[in-house]
Amino acid sequence: MLSKNLVHKKIIAIILLPVLVLACVVLGTLINNHKKTKILLIGLDGASWKIILPLVDQGKLPNIKHLIEDGCRGKLETLDPIESDIIWTTVITGKSPRFHGITGNAMIDSDTGKLTFPTSNLRKVKALWNILSANGKKVGVVNYRASWPAEKVNGFMISNRQGRNQSSTLPYAQPSLKSFCTRKMFKDFRRGLFSPPLRKDTAWVFEHDNFMANIAEYLYKHNTFDFFCLYLAGTDEMSHYYWKYLFPDHEDVSPEEIAKYKDIIPSYYAWCDNIIGNLLSAADSDTTVIIISDHGFKSIKQEDRPYVSLKLDVLLGAAGLSKFNYNSKEVKLLNTGPEDVLMFQKNLKIVGDLSRDEFIAVREKIKDALRNIKVKENNAYLFKALFDNRNGFALDINRASFHRAPECHVLIGKKEYRFLDFLSKDTASGAHDPDDGIIIIYGKNINKHSQIKGASVYDIAPTILYLLDLPVAEDMPGNILQSVFNLGLLKKKPLKYVNTYENLTVKVAREPIGLPEEDKIIKDRMRSLGYLK
């Protein structure tokens, strides 16, 4: 016969067993929920509170309104210069341009002198998708800046150069689009319902954004991601094109043009809001949504527009360097930079029937002459660096000198010239505003109805790493945006740090991977945006 104590123990065990099972289930659920944190990052290039808040008040951005009212928002501090490839690479790496290696929207290949554009292989540090993939997180990346060639990740990467060719063997996407969609689906990705009266030279903006947004929606709805990112460029590009019709003060536009184009920018924001809504419908309650822009926009009067380009050919003529004789041989100096690029690096080609020794001597003579060109008022040299290549040399222009251009003079030899004689002004009516970038964060652990203060583009990567339970690298200069989280999360999830995610081996400098036909298309598009003349 069982003793009374043993019977009592059995009874207690029978009573406690369901309780223990329930406790284990609850604890397991809590642990699983804790591990299920996901991130949906949406980048809207150039999105501005000047446009968003009035449209929210008018009820035209219902999804963004929901995120703002049930989450937190603020202004996002950006970088100088305000160039998208630089800033978005900083966002996704948490590193400064000095370390990540992407230094402009367009660059000159110092060896060939040809215009080229940032490519993923030029990035010197790991992006979030590399770090997350290496830590077992599933990622989806669609249309991110400078993401060509697409990198192999634990998930999907659709580079910003993925275009009409679904079955190309080039790494536009990893895995390729043909691995997950049929030809019919591919055609459907190109269809859109947005049909404002876009000028012919701007139709490509919507076509590309729409294509990428449709791919993103499909991937997001048919997969589960720990981190998913979609970048859209149209909010910036439409502002460059159509800002003067929405804000026509001090602009030479007709009433007919205003009536036709004034709704383009608001309509584009409303279209983006719809894309956000479609992604939100597929997101679960464990998803934290982050929406950011790299800068805002503002109106700028014609007389206040900055000087953004050096007329190098004019300057070379004034310096007597465009054409001269050396040892009775005619020498020409050609700007193959090219002249029309609004950037601060140029390439000069020396042309003439010269021996190798004569070529080297001529190159040094020209470089010495350019090195001695100064801005009179601050005694600053106009050119910062000159480095050799096969056909001549490349040079960097000291952009700091442009800020005081109207009051300055340039000394070339013994002659003095107005600086303005060698400069071109920006022609766009809408200008990048460094003080109006947006940040919106929404999720179950995010404070509601609160303002985000002091957030920077450097803070996005550390904040995402924290939310995904990974340590933040100490070589990332940004901070975790702790003020947006409720106290419960901060207590459950302590801050963790690691020295770095980078390999300690030194990387060798690499050349950009260009595609001539696509580079030409990009150049034409930059010209239509006003970045090229």
Asked whether the predicted pLDDT for residue 416 surpasses 90, the reply is yes
Asked whether the predicted pLDDT for residue 436 surpasses 60, the reply is yes
Average pLDDT value over all residues in the chain: 84
As a whole-number percent, the residues of the chain with pLDDT over 90 amount to 53
Q: What is the mean pLDDT of residues 174-199?
A: 82
Asked whether the predicted pLDDT for residue 427 surpasses 60, the reply is yes
Instruction: Select from 84, 164, 96 the least CA-distant residue to 125.
Output: 96
Contact 437, 75 (CB under 8 A): yes
As a whole-number percent, the residues of the chain with pLDDT over 70 amount to 79
Instruction: Select from 227, 189, 214 the least CA-distant residue to 271.
Output: 214
What's the sign of the alpha-carbon dihedral 189, 194, 199, 205? negative
Asked whether the predicted pLDDT for residue 30 surpasses 50, the reply is no
Q: What is the mean pLDDT of residues 229-238?
A: 95
What is the rounded CA–CA span in Å between residue 240 and residue 84?
Answer: 14
What is the rounded CA–CA span in Å between residue 316 and residue 334?
Answer: 9
User: Residue 54 is inside which H or E element, if any?
Assistant: helix 49-57
Q: Which of 112-126, 237-251, 283-297 has the highest mean pLDDT?
A: 283-297
Phi-psi category of residue 59: left, alpha or beta, with phi > 0 → left and psi -120 to 50 → alpha: left
Confidence of residue 303 (pLDDT cuts 50, 70, 90): low
Q: What is the mean pLDDT of residues 194-222?
A: 86
In the chain the first and final C-alpha atoms are separated, in Å, by 101
What pLDDT is stored for residue 170 in this prediction?
78
Q: Which residue has the higher pLDDT, 16 or 398?
A: 398
What pLDDT is stored for residue 513 in this prediction?
64
What pLDDT is stored for residue 23 in this prediction?
44
Asked whether the predicted pLDDT for residue 187 surpasses 50, the reply is yes
Domains of the chain listed by start with CATH number: 38-303+430-529 (3.40.720.10), 313-425 (no CATH)
At 51 the three-state DSSP class reads: helix
- In the block, tokens 């284990």 appear at 24
Tokens of 416: 């003095």
What pLDDT is stored for residue 24 in this prediction?
44
Q: Which residue has the higher pLDDT, 162 or 271?
A: 271
What pLDDT is stored for residue 428 in this prediction?
67
- Is the pTM for the entire model greater than 0.95? no
Taking the CA atoms of residue 358, residue 364, residue 367 and residue 368 in that order, the dihedral angle to the nearest 10 degrees is -130
Asked whether the predicted pLDDT for residue 35 surpasses 70, the reply is no
Confidence of residue 326 (pLDDT cuts 50, 70, 90): very high
Q: What is the mean pLDDT of residues 184-195?
A: 80
Residue 59: CB atoms within 10 Å: 8
- Among the residue ranges 4-8, 48-52, 403-407, the one predicted with the least confidence is 4-8
What is the rounded CA–CA span in Å between residue 370 and residue 348?
Answer: 11
3 state SS for 161-222: CCCCCCCCCCCCEECCHHHCCCHHHHHHHCCCCCCCCCCHHHHHHHHHHHHHHHHHHHHHHH
**Residue 10, CA distances (Å) to 18, 22, 256 in order:** 13, 19, 89
What pLDDT is stored for residue 70 in this prediction?
96
Q: Which residue has the higher pLDDT, 454 or 5?
A: 454
Q: What is the mean pLDDT of residues 199-211?
A: 83
Q: What is the mean pLDDT of residues 176-195?
A: 82
Q: Name 342's Cβ contacts closer than 8 Å, sequence gap at least 6.
A: 308, 309, 426, 530, 531, 532, 533
What pLDDT is stored for residue 269 in this prediction?
97
Task: Give the DSSP letter string of 125-169.
Answer: S--HHHHHHHTT--EEEES-TT-PSPPP-SEEEE-TT--S-SS-S
What pLDDT is stored for residue 340 in this prediction?
40
Q: What is the mean pLDDT of residues 208-232?
A: 96
Q: Which of 183-192, 240-249, 279-288, 511-520 has the highest mean pLDDT?
A: 279-288
Asked whether the predicted pLDDT for residue 113 surpasses 90, the reply is no
The radius of gyration of the chain from alpha carbons, rounded to an integer in Å, stands at 28
Q: What is the mean pLDDT of residues 411-436?
A: 84
Q: Which residue has the higher pLDDT, 304 or 373?
A: 373
At 86 the three-state DSSP class reads: helix
Tokens of 35: 């591990």
What is the rounded CA–CA span in Å between residue 484 and residue 71?
Answer: 9
Contact 363, 392 (CB under 8 A): yes
Residue 53: CB atoms within 10 Å: 16
pLDDT, tens digit, 9 for 90 and up, residues 136-167: 999 999 999 999 899 999 999 999 888 766 55
What's the sign of the alpha-carbon dihedral 169, 174, 177, 180? positive
Q: Which amino acid is at 533?
A: K
What pLDDT is stored for residue 26 in this prediction?
42
Q: What is the mean pLDDT of residues 13-42?
A: 57
At 270 the three-state DSSP class reads: helix
Instruction: Select from 25, 246, 455 the least CA-distant residue to 463.
Output: 455
Instruction: Select from 493, 496, 461 the least CA-distant residue to 132.
Output: 461
Confidence of residue 341 (pLDDT cuts 50, 70, 90): very low
- Among the residue ranges 10-14, 121-125, 368-372, the one predicted with the least confidence is 10-14
